[in-house]
Copies of this chain bind each other. A is one copy, B any other.
Amino acid sequence: MKNIIVAQSGGPTTAINASLVGVVKGALSSGGYDKVFGALYGISGVMKEEFIQLEGLSDEELDRIYTTPSSYLGSCRYKMPDIEEDSSIYEKIFEILNKYEVAAFFYIGGNDSMDTISKLAEYGSSIGSDIRFAGVPKTIDNDLVHIDHTPGYGSAAKFIIASMLEFAHDTSVYKVPTVTIIEIMGRNAGWLTAAAALARNEYSDIPQLIYLPEVPFSTENFLNDVKDVLKTTNNVVIAVSEGLQDENGVYLSATSAAEDKFGHAQLSGVGKILESLVKDELGVKCRSVEINILQRCAAHMASASDLQESELLGEKAVEYAAAGKTGYMTTIIRTSNEPYEYKIETAELDGIANQVKQVPIEWINPSRNDVTSEMIDYVRPLVCGEVQLEYKDGVPVYADISHLTGTV
């Protein structure tokens, strides 16, 4: 018996289940594996032997999971100790892997998850195990190194772009100067915020201003930028990254705690802070909108190309493992921008966990309030294609996750 384990980890995305489906299909089509164990709640589910079996899922069920947002298997935020520090966890995990006759382990996740799979592969090598370990990347933040772009990013970007265009329509109706600030996820990298630029079209230049965490944020420059745009239009919409930092590297959102009516401390996001600033300093009507978790779970606006690539990364991960490879992450290499072409290869896991890929400085304009056409060309192919969902009574039909929603 040769079985596999697949698990998901880190923050949810719209594409992480497409990779899961890719792993399952890859395992089934390879002919080399028998059972496919899905570990619930990431590596912690492996340690507790919380498995559901996936090899019996029908094509219809797999199609449903493919378009379902968030992690079908649940997730965890568990950091594996260094092997030298505490090898007992590794011993326990390998005992379980052997008990379940696991020949390959696939971990779908972001940089922390790549750290986990890297350590497991390393421990495996050290004890001469022939179990294969592979990482399948995902993160809406698009901040992993060794990959052109990450699964989940395209779908999140597509939702942000569509929303931004809808905001352009929503905010244009009154003939009164107004500023609308849209706060977008991305604590250390501005990829998602930068994508907002793709909402611009022949009749709208919204968002007129874009601020990324890659460059220091200056309140003075910001207010001057807004005043400038207000000279030519009533309706200013601004895309800002949640991770904006001042010239000292301090997050704008870090020091805004205040007490509410119950005497409880409240932390405000960047959007609210800039909203107050515009109101008070410019005396202009201002509203802020935080797109929040919708950008990572709005599967009804998923990018078809994102899901296809995510599935392929999962499938290929199994293919490489079946061929004997271990200790890698499948990755996307872009070979052409127009037409958009890419190939799937493998990347070393080393360094992925400890690096953050930011937007290149040369893709940010000299005034630091917009992105360049290179940035736009980079994102365009990643948001293409729409996913057709089934609806019942007007509501999208997603995969049943009652295995996660049980009692405590």
Contact = CB atoms under 8 A, between A and B. Distances in A.
Interface string A160-171: 011101111111
Contact of A277 (B12, B165, B262): B262
Contacts of A203: 400-402, 405
A260 B258 contact: yes
A135 interface: no
A279 B400 CA distance: 30
A258 B259 contact: yes
A234 B407 CA distance: 7
A99 interface: no
A201 B399 CA distance: 11
Given A292-B290, A394-B161, A261 B265 contact: no
Contacts of A173: 8, 12, 41, 70-71, 74-75, 404
A1 to B, nearest CB: 29
A41 B235 CA distance: 14
A297 B169 contact: yes
A297 B172 CA distance: 12
A391 B386 contact: yes
A224 interface: no
A117 to B, nearest CB: 18
Contacts of A300: 162, 166, 300-301
A12 B165 contact: no
Contacts of A161: 394-395
Which among A175, A383, A396 has the highest number of chain B CB atoms within 10 Å? A175
In the complex, the count of this chain's copies comes to 2
Interface of A: 8, 12, 41, 44, 68-71, 74-77, 158, 161-163, 165-175, 177, 198-199, 201-205, 219, 230-235, 252, 255-256, 258-262, 264-266, 268, 272-273, 276-277, 279-280, 287, 289-294, 296-301, 303, 305, 380, 383-386, 391, 393-396, 398, 400-402, 404-408
B70 A172 contact: yes
A264 B280 contact: yes
B405 A204 contact: yes
A292 B293 contact: no
A384 B396 CA distance: 11
A44 B401 CA distance: 52
B262 A280 contact: yes
A220 to B, nearest CB: 12
Contacts of A261: 252, 255-256, 273
A383 B380 CA distance: 32
B262 A258 contact: no
B293 A170 contact: yes
A297 to B, nearest CB: 4
